[in-house]
Amino acid sequence: MKKLLNTLLLLLPAFAFAQSAKMAETMIRIWGDSLQLAGRPAHWTYDQGVVLEGFTGLWKNTGDGKYFRFIQTGMDHYLEKDGTIRTYKAEDYNIDHIKNGRSLLLLYKVTNEEKYKLAADKLKAQLDKHPRTNEGGFWHKKRYPYQMWLDGLYMAEPFYAEYAALFHDEAAFKDITRQFVLMEVHSRDARTGLLYHGYDESRQQKWADKTTGRSPNFWGRAMGWYGMALVDALEYFPQGHPGKDSLIQILNRMAAAVKKYQDPASGCWWQVLDKAKEKGNYLEASASCMFVYALAKGVRLGYLPASYSAVADKGYKGLTKQFVRPAPEGGVNLEGTVSVAGLGGDPYRDGSYAYYLSEKVIVNDPKGVGAYMLASNEMEQAAIPKTGKGVTVTIDNYFNNEFRKSAAGQPESWHYVWNEMDNGGYSLWGHIFHNRGATTKTLSAAPTAATLAKTDIFLIVDPDTQKETTQPNYMTDAHAEEIYNWVKKGGVLVILQNDAGNSEIKTFNKLTGRFGITFKEDSRNHVEGKQFEQGALFLPAGNEVFPHTKKIYIKEISTIATAQPAKAVYTDKGDVVMAVSKVGKGTVFAVGDPWFYNEYLDGRRLPASFENYQAAVDLTEWLFKQVVRK
């Protein structure tokens, strides 16, 4: 049965992220221009940011441009060209207002538009001046002095960490670690392992225990925010940073408590976590979604033991049954989310059990919807068969070795590299590899037997000319011999050339010619402006490499001449566009275009009729099948 299920999943198209897509359909219908929230005039609010996080994950998993446009439209409504954010007031020192900064950073990385960076800079400037407790913890808001709430960690720290990583601010990670450590030290209950909603350093609030400063109850969504904050911030911590180990330990302690208080019957979690049997308590949707997301992502990234997958799976099945209902207009509705819960304020919220039960429970609350999309994205990623488990995919950064200035003004490698999110990067293809269990690496030195032995699949893309790099590293007979011998032993080589004038071809043919593949130094499929159909190619049914793909887009292709042992796997109008060669135990796939860079996969530019994202999935799965498993 398991083998059959895996086979069926492999046959699904790339866009089969069904539950998250259904929730997105509802949000686009209800919140069509992403400018209004629950019927209120649009204002800068963290609620929107949570929903946009869900859309970000769905966009990466599908390459469907409508999800990216939803994010961009939502943020653009608030931004001026100079990065000014309409309705945002830095002087309020409200930590909630930092949340949307992650959407700004995404937009900046993908589009390179300066206004997104300038707006993100303004949020970072708020953090730089944000009032703190005497120990250095961010106040939740200026109007809530000396208070730290679990919610605030999610609102600020993932953005803070992502910004620090982008701008190489190593010192920031010590401060980020401090926020999580202080919150746990002051809010964690040793007996249950749960964290109280808030902590008042001054002990002045009526809700604060006069000895500990803690609020009196364990609110589900508050701990959900904290869990999501941990897994999202951890992604950006530098390897080897001591704070990373500290946060992983905190996450593991939190996960143990979350598992302990999961309702055994439903798989969900309660509004007040430790009072399952008390009158009036209820299973709550947003907390359940957040816990599923934090646990599933923690397992995927290796921060939590694999055993937590079962907890996440039980939770996801439970919340789907408990809270998710088909919407008559299409899509789904999410029931059972408490609209809000806080501490202090006017009218005063005392943090009592009765208070947490008094707030309204509503349908399609954006906090719940965003968390549900995040949980669905993770669980649907987890359901993809891990056909690439144990496989290492390495991209060359020697023959293609271009540099530019980074956001921080430092030299950085770019153009067909894994971590680049703009048009010329391979971040989405890397995401496809990761979703299937593979590891991606980069080789920046000349290939040798020793370095190639560490990889299963080796990608060489668009070898440099002097136009791109002052001193290009050209293919030599010695390099070709090393790579040829590696392929003979079982290596899988992927050649993504480019057309004449945009790539070094003549010398590079020293390598490809050994496999019977010669690039012709020509250029076909020229596309004028947005006349994308000029770049359309149609794959016949039964293509061995692309069994689920029909229409693809490739422009300015260097065509191929084949000789034994190579064979054409796709021709068009008499031209060989793609070829495969088998040598010894290994395999070579070649096409005359860099092809799977983000501009071709992300749906922002190409019409939806092109299936390049699906083609990337098909090629990925085919490459895995060529790997000689040790």
Using the structure block, give the residue that is written with the tokens 């997301």.
Answer: 293
Q: What is the pLDDT of residue 35?
A: 64
Alpha-carbon gap, residue 174 to 180, rounded angstroms: 10
Q: What is the pLDDT of residue 32?
A: 78
Read off the pLDDT of residues 352-395 as tens digits, 9 standing for 90 and up: 999 999 999 999 999 999 999 999 999 999 999 999 999 999 99
Is 151 one of the annotated active-site residues of the chain? yes
| pLDDT over 60 (residue 242) | yes
> Which band of pLDDT confidence, cut at 50, 70 and 90, is reported for residue 2?
very low
Q: Of 517, 501, 566, whose CA–CA distance to 509 is shortest?
A: 517
Percent above pLDDT 90 for the chain:
94
- Residues ≥6 apart with Cβ < 8 Å to 3: none
Read off the pLDDT of residues 5-15 as tens digits, 9 standing for 90 and up: 444 444 444 43
Q: What is the pLDDT of residue 34?
A: 60
Cα separations in angstroms, 136 against 361, 433, 457, 558? 35, 40, 47, 58
Alpha-carbon gap, residue 626 to 431, rounded angstroms: 20
Q: Find out whether 37 and 48 touch, Cβ atoms under 8 Å.
A: yes
Mean pLDDT in residue range 86-95? 97
Read off the pLDDT of residues 503-513 as tens digits, 9 standing for 90 and up: 999 999 999 99
User: Which of 151, 232, 274, 462 does the annotation list as catalytic?
Assistant: 151
Alpha-carbon gap, residue 193 to 226, rounded angstroms: 13
Alpha-carbon gap, residue 95 to 130, rounded angstroms: 8
| pLDDT over 90 (residue 246) | yes
Mean pLDDT in residue range 65-85? 96
Alpha-carbon gap, residue 320 to 334, rounded angstroms: 9
Q: What is the pLDDT of residue 5?
A: 40
Q: Of 307, 473, 320, whose CA–CA distance to 398 is shortest?
A: 473
Q: Find out whether 233 and 297 touch, Cβ atoms under 8 Å.
A: no
Type of residue numbered 500: A
| pLDDT over 70 (residue 437) | yes
Alpha-carbon gap, residue 160 to 232, rounded angstroms: 11
Alpha-carbon gap, residue 135 to 132, rounded angstroms: 8
Read off the pLDDT of residues 567-602 as tens digits, 9 standing for 90 and up: 999 999 999 999 999 999 999 999 999 999 999 999
